[in-house]
Amino acid sequence: MKIITIVGARPQFIKAAALSREIAKHNNIEEIIIHTGQHFDDNMSDVFFREMEIPEPKYNLDINSISHGAMTGRMLERIEGILIKEEPDILLVYGDTNSTIAGALAAKKMHIKVAHVEAGLRSFNMEMPEEVNRILTDRISDFLFCPTTTAINNLDKEGYNNIDCKIFNSGDVMQDAANFYAEKSSERAKVFKELDFDKFILCTFHRAENTDDNIRLIEIIESLNEINKEIQVVLPLHPRTKTKIEDLGIKLEVKIIDPVGYFDMIELLKNCSLVITDSGGLQKEAFFFKKNCVTMRDQTEWVELLDHKVNVLVGAEKVKILQGVLDMLEKESDFSVNLYGNGNACENIINKLVELECQ
């Protein structure tokens, strides 16, 4: 069996690292990785391949820094050419990026089976590019690997039982990655060792809904500056967010560091007192490392974190952000519940693909 894996953004590198390690255990599976180049900065891309020992991509498309339509179109064209050349049995995509939908579309039009890892997630906000990407990818995928029962239920409600596809609750591959790399992070982390804080909050934000709206961006910056007066905020700053802040001309009075690799992110998560983010993946990673989370979004795909009160949505309003941070810093949460599987998601996915292809 030949599998082509599409990656392009940081969360996908982490997921691919876990799943590629499982694929390597099967002598009868050949994996070819296509890196679209959606994240191209060394700290956002190359470092993950080096640190996490991901097989080197056979193809790097270097498509980035252009509009959604142009990016998706160019990826679609380039991926199609590779599929014609390689003739894979399955195309494997992760999550909800432009790389995801471009890969799925290219394969589906060539009658190549599509496997979508992290299927069934919904924010119910169609203004999010990610929501459009994930819905369309689900609809044209042959194998839908869902990380949670909530994701399964979402597909049930949308009538997927009447669609020619196979749906599985595989567990979350991010849980597999966190379990595996947590044992290595203290030795391999570099940036974290240079920080000298007894107590700090880890913060990230990069979503267009926050960075492209000046009102939301100003509220977030003012909130972080206020929080930083009481407890140190450490912010690995996404290049896109940095540019937006500079254009706005507002000073961000927190500890700003460059984007970090996965091992440093794990160490930051292990040692922080709280997470503030608008990232989807980091909400889960906070849970994996037993940290409460304040999410600067109006919706989240990971509703089970809200249900178990380890995460709170605060949007981008200063009052809500400050109150959310105050509440969650003081809250003692129960992280013993098993929300994302038992750490065998990758094994479940590959075994199922082998079984299906042998039928």
From 35, 206, 238, 308, active-site residue: 206
Q: Where do we find the tokens 């599976």?
A: 29
Please confirm, yes or no, whether 111 is among the known catalytic residues.
no
| Pair 254, 235: CB distance under 8 Å | yes
H-helix segments, the chain: 10-23, 46-52, 68-86, 98-109, 129-140, 149-157, 173-182, 185-188, 191-194, 208-211, 214-228, 239-248, 262-271, 280-288, 303-307, 318-330, 345-358
| Pair 209, 177: CB distance under 8 Å | no
CA–CA separation, 232 vs 221, rounded Å? 14
Handedness of CA 245, 283, 257, 18 (dihedral sign): negative
CA–CA separation, 293 vs 104, rounded Å? 32
Q: What string of DSSP letters covers 283-340? A: HHHHHHTT--EEE-SS--S-HHHHHTTSEEE-TT-HHHHHHHHHHHHH------S--S
> Which of 252, 249, 268, 248 lies closest to 260 in space, CA to CA?
268
End-to-end CA distance of the chain: 13
Q: Who contacts 195 (Cβ-Cβ below 8 Å, separation ≥6)?
A: 234, 255, 257
CA–CA separation, 252 vs 335, rounded Å? 32
Tokens of 146: 């869902």
For residue 117, give Cα distances in angstroms to 4, 45, 106: 13, 20, 17
Where in the sequence numbering do the catalytic residues fall? Answer: 206
